[in-house]
Amino acid sequence: MNINIICTGKIKETYLRDAIEEYKKRISRFSDIKITEVQDEKDPKIPSPSLTEKAKEKEGKRIIEKIPERSFVTALCINGTKYDSLSFAEEISQMSMKGMGSITFIIGGSNGLSDEVIKRADSKISFSDMTFPHQLMRVILLEQIYRAFKILNNEPYHK
């Protein structure tokens, strides 16, 4: 199975980059994993709903261009389905059985995901009703993917 994570923006903080690399290394025992960053749009000096929407649309086009063919696409968004770790592991197992070849998770930028990206998604997942910085969300997602693989392989880690 191949796992792709498409994200908006770059990680500037060293401690987050280190955590991302650590979880990528751990996950690589179970799956190929690739993280693709797309350029984020700078927030306008005077934000308005229409400018924010245009920024999301531009980011969305960049995201969609990077989605691999034959990939099951899961968008991370606040109105998605919530899972506990065991049910998330089962969901990953089910996604991999759909025979698509890969799973692609999409993390939007600070303004969220465009309608086009959300429509393209085969599923939507929410990790919380709270809002997390999109940079930190990469670490959270990677940790949960790693936890899911440990659960699916009956290995100790999950508590």
Q: Which domains can be identified in the chain, with CATH numbers?
A: 2-152 (3.40.1280.10)
The tokens describing 32, both together, are 């190929």
What local confidence, expressed as pLDDT, does residue 67 receive?
Answer: 96
What local confidence, expressed as pLDDT, does residue 103 receive?
Answer: 94
More confident residue, 44 or 87: 87
pLDDT digits (tens, 9 = 90+) for 92-145: 998 877 766 799 999 999 889 999 999 999 999 999 988 888 899 999 999 999
**Cα(141)–Cα(147) distance, integer angstroms:** 10
Give the count of beta carbons closer than 10 Å to the beta carbon of residue 107.
23
pLDDT value at 5 more than 70 = yes
More confident residue, 36 or 94: 36
> Which residues have a Cβ under 8 Å from the Cβ of 35 and sit 6 or more positions away?
4, 5, 6, 7, 20, 24, 138
The tokens describing 5, both together, are 């994570």
What local confidence, expressed as pLDDT, does residue 134 receive?
Answer: 86
pLDDT value at 45 more than 90 = no
Handedness of CA 3, 124, 67, 130 (dihedral sign): negative
* Residue 145 φ/ψ region, left for φ over 0, alpha for ψ in the -120 to 50 degree band, beta for the rest: alpha
Distances (CA, A) of 7 to 10, 13, 16, 31, 107: 8, 15, 14, 19, 5
pLDDT digits (tens, 9 = 90+) for 59-98: 999 999 999 988 999 999 999 999 999 999 999 998 877 7
Confidence band (pLDDT; 50, 70, 90) for 47?
A: confident
Beta bridge partners of 109: 112
The model carries a pTM of 0.93
What local confidence, expressed as pLDDT, does residue 48 receive?
Answer: 87
**Cα(141)–Cα(144) distance, integer angstroms:** 5
What local confidence, expressed as pLDDT, does residue 56 receive?
Answer: 93
Confidence band (pLDDT; 50, 70, 90) for 152?
A: very high
What local confidence, expressed as pLDDT, does residue 100 receive?
Answer: 67
The tokens describing 117, both together, are 């990206």
